[in-house]
Structure 1
Amino acid sequence: MESALIKSDDLITLWGIITVWAAISIYLEQRFKWAARLSGAIVALVGAIILSNTGIIPTESPVYDAVWAFIIPLAIPLLLFHVNFKKVGQESGKMLIIFLISSIGTVAGTITSFFLLKDSIPFLDKIGGIMSGSYVGGGVNLAAMAAKFEAPGEMVSATVVADNLLMALYFVVLMIIPGLSFFRKRYNHPHVLEVERTEGANGGRTLAEEYWGKKEISLKDIALSVGTAFLLVIIAFKVAEWFGAIIPSGEDVSFFFNLLNGLFGDNYLVLTTFTFIALALFPKYFESINGSQEIGTFLIYLFFVVIGIPASIPLIVQNAPLLLVFVAIIVLINMIISLSAGKLLKYNLEDILLVSNANIGGPTTAAAMAIAKGWKNLIGPILVVGTIGYIIGNYIGTTLGLWFGTMM
């Protein structure tokens, strides 16, 4: 948004706005029950949507790119330092099935949406391939599929704006669902109940205020938390880069090598794996560090703000309102199939919502939701399962895009 009051290259001001609004969101969540019911994450996200859509801040800036590139990788290990990693394997195995079913929901939604709108939206075969890949593995796949199908730049840009707006709105919906009696009556929700039991025993204070009560945190704790997280990020990203370079990948390479490249060359999967290895090797060290959860969660709140910023409603209304309808149909069918299959297979509501989130937004947004809702035992598993979408998303997007191309 070129006409924004604050320009995209005003880096210090934009960093300040993101940081201040994240801090306000946390304060409101811990101070007022209305904000606690919404959650600080939604307050942060909705506030960002308002700031960008009223023209106060731009929808694009190097600052937002930096949050994705640096803040999120640093937050992930910080938040995993106190996770019970022994439960991660068990929970990940359970989640994988419903994640794959949720991916089928994306495929069904893309096919349905394509046939409904193929005569109304140009280049929808390419856009369909791009979005089916993106809505299985998240935004990482969108960039890969856009390069593969070589869709016109203006169509890709309009699709990205529609995706950003829809993802922000869907994130709000997913955060609200666990509090609705309709879903609570029909699904098991043990993690929600555990969180509420904690809230019920805290003398009327909000859950966030109780959970994030004052702790003894020293300068050494802060230094070791941040230093260790940076060390893990550096090692993991260098190893992933090395594997990505030596393991062949591409259209002319077998599925097996593409799979290996996707697994061992993925930054977040390698980072999560290295963090779990460190937890297993040095449990006493990580138990002795205080403050890692607090620092990591504050960084995640910066991410919540950045998620909402690109959701430009005027751009969608002006450029491509039907694209919003296209992606909305995909997401709606994904949600319906995920919830229906989850009910049939007796999955917990929390698992279903997180895998649908991981499909649409990727493992980072799903992990952020788990953190915001207090489902701490599901953070590691959804990060592990969500990265599978990076791998299968490209295959699904390629297959559907090529098929759709025969009908345009």
Structure 2
Amino acid sequence: MDWLPITSAVGILASLSGICAFFFWLEKSTGWKLFQYLPPLIFIYLAPVILSNTGVLPTSSPVYTEMKNLLLPMMLILLLLNVNIGAALRVLGKGVGVMLFGTLGVMIGAPIGLWVVKGWLGPDAWKAFGVLAGSWIGGTGNMAAVSEMIDASGADIGLAVIGDSTIYIVWLPILLGSKKFAGWFATYTGVADDRIERMEAAAAAEFSETRAIKTVDVLYLLCIALTATWLADLAANLLPVRKPYLDVGTWRMLLITSIGIGLSFTKLGKIPGSHEMGMAFVYLYVARMGATAALEQVADQAFPFIAGALIWIFIHGAFCLLGAKLLKVDVHTAAIASAANIGGAASAPVVASHHKESLVPASILMALIGYAVGNFAAYATALLCRMVS
């Protein structure tokens, strides 16, 4: 077939966006339970991996470079615009503290997990742990951002995605099943009897129907995202370079994160549609990440990496339990807090709906706080892993 590989810009973009659309359509049209444990995101990554490693898509292209330069910072700005720390604190209260304990568990667990298995991994395995830390502290957007900050290869990102999806299959049932132990957990933590009622009342008072997105909202959001990206690019080139810790790419992501958090406190954060548009960019960027991954490099190190990640996740869990004990938090909030870290905005609502349907909106806000701290904390985690490596 003379038309393979697909090398034109429009052909590559059509292929990647088509893959994203197909797997969401498949999830919605079939209702398969498979997607509860392996969300479309996993297939959106793996399908381009297969297509690029079999010659259908190229493994390198100017299109991929432009997507990294433009799509990545724009999606971060759009996602961070939606962060509402005040609302999350008013509804979940100390639950946000439990999430931050979980974040600390991710940061401490990563170098420990790497130290245990580093003998079976390559010298740059710390980058894969750093990339996965981005996902486990914030979400897929943070994973992409941290991969840029530490110059991770396609193989490093591939290991992170495989580790993420594998551990998710183990961890999600634990979070869902924890509901059965609500009574024991309340005794263990000493939670107040009326905490659940107070959370549900706060959620009912906090969240109301938002207006439908309009054409002008899309234009506002594009203008904000593009302008912020442009300003961050200008500023990043003026700041001092301190290799291997700080280069232009790292400064760029840190500035984008700071700008996005700052804008979330303004009226711009109330523009509807920013989260939906940002997530669409995330899925498209994940497809791009898959297309640049080398399959054989990932396969050689997958098992020891997953073993290290398994140690890592239980350290995170231990920190969540410690946070719940110290802050006297119920099992429902603790499970949502862990899901907000490990699964992000896609998984926190799933866990919340299973535990307490009324907490679904607040669970999304908690996950978005993870987006806000994810780039800073995951970059620090990557540096800790580099020291261990």
TM-score (norm 2): 0.66
1:327 matches 2:300: no
Match of 1:71 in 2: 71
Write the distance in 2 (CA, Å) between the matches of 1:262 and 1:93.
27
Give 1:141 shift. 5.2
Aligned-partner residue type, residue 378 of structure 1: M
1:97 matches 2:101: yes
Question: Structure 1 residues 104, 81: closer, same or farther in 2, change over 3 A?
Answer: closer
Aligned-partner residue type, residue 219 of structure 2: G
Alignment counterpart, residue 377 of structure 1, candidates 349, 354, 365: 365
Aligned-partner residue type, residue 158 of structure 2: N
CA contact (8 A) 2:221 2:274 kept: no
Give 1:31 shift. 2.2
1:127 matches 2:124: yes
Alignment counterpart, residue 348 of structure 1, candidates 334, 343, 354: 334
Alignment counterpart, residue 111 of structure 1, candidates 102, 108, 115: 115
CA contact (8 A) 2:102 2:341 kept: yes
CA contact (8 A) 2:340 2:347 kept: yes
Write the distance in 2 (CA, Å) between the matches of 1:144 and 1:80.
18
Structure 1: give runs of 5+ residues left out of the alignment: 147-155, 189-214, 358-365, 402-408
Question: Structure 1 residues 68, 353: closer, same or farther in 2, change over 3 A?
Answer: farther
Question: Structure 1 residues 301, 186: closer, same or farther in 2, change over 3 A?
Answer: farther
Structure 2: give runs of 5+ residues left out of the alignment: 135-142, 186-210, 325-332, 352-359
Aligned-partner residue type, residue 309 of structure 1: A
Write the distance in 1 (CA, Å) between the matches of 2:68 and 2:244.
31
Aligned-partner residue type, residue 105 of structure 2: I
SS in 1 for 2:56: coil
CA contact (8 A) 1:178 1:184 kept: no
Alignment counterpart, residue 309 of structure 1, candidates 291, 302, 317: 291
Alignment counterpart, residue 258 of structure 2, candidates 256, 266, 270: 270
Match of 1:62 in 2: 62
Write the distance in 2 (CA, Å) between the matches of 1:24 and 1:178.
24
Write the distance in 1 (CA, Å) between the matches of 2:78 and 2:319.
33
Give 1:33 shift. 1.4
Write the distance in 1 (CA, Å) between the matches of 2:304 and 2:2.
28
Write the distance in 2 (CA, Å) between the matches of 1:75 and 1:108.
31
Match of 1:204 in 2: none
Match of 1:18 in 2: 16
CA contact (8 A) 2:167 2:309 kept: no
Aligned-partner residue type, residue 21 of structure 1: I
Match of 1:298 in 2: 280
CA contact (8 A) 1:161 1:316 kept: yes
SS in 2 for 1:34: coil
Question: Structure 1 residues 13, 369: closer, same or farther in 2, change over 3 A?
Answer: farther
Give 1:62 shift. 3.4
CA contact (8 A) 1:22 1:305 kept: yes
Match of 1:399 in 2: 387
CA contact (8 A) 1:334 1:356 kept: no
Write the distance in 2 (CA, Å) between the matches of 1:81 and 1:316.
34
Give 1:400 shift. 2.5
Question: Structure 1 residues 23, 169: closer, same or farther in 2, change over 3 A?
Answer: same
For residues 355-385 of structure 1, the C-alpha deviation after alignment (integer angstroms, 9 at most, x for no partner) is 346xxxxxxxx45666898752234201112
Aligned positions of 1:201-280 closer than 5 A? 221-222=214-215, 224-241=216-233, 244=236, 248=240, 250=242, 266-279=254-267
Give 1:105 shift. 0.6
Alignment counterpart, residue 339 of structure 1, candidates 293, 309, 317: 317
Write the distance in 2 (CA, Å) between the matches of 1:145 and 1:74.
19
Question: Structure 1 residues 313, 131: closer, same or farther in 2, change over 3 A?
Answer: closer
- RMSD, aligned α-carbons: 4.3
1:174 matches 2:168: yes
SS in 2 for 1:348: helix
Question: Structure 1 residues 140, 334: closer, same or farther in 2, change over 3 A?
Answer: same
Give 1:352 shift. 2.2
Give 1:167 shift. 1.6
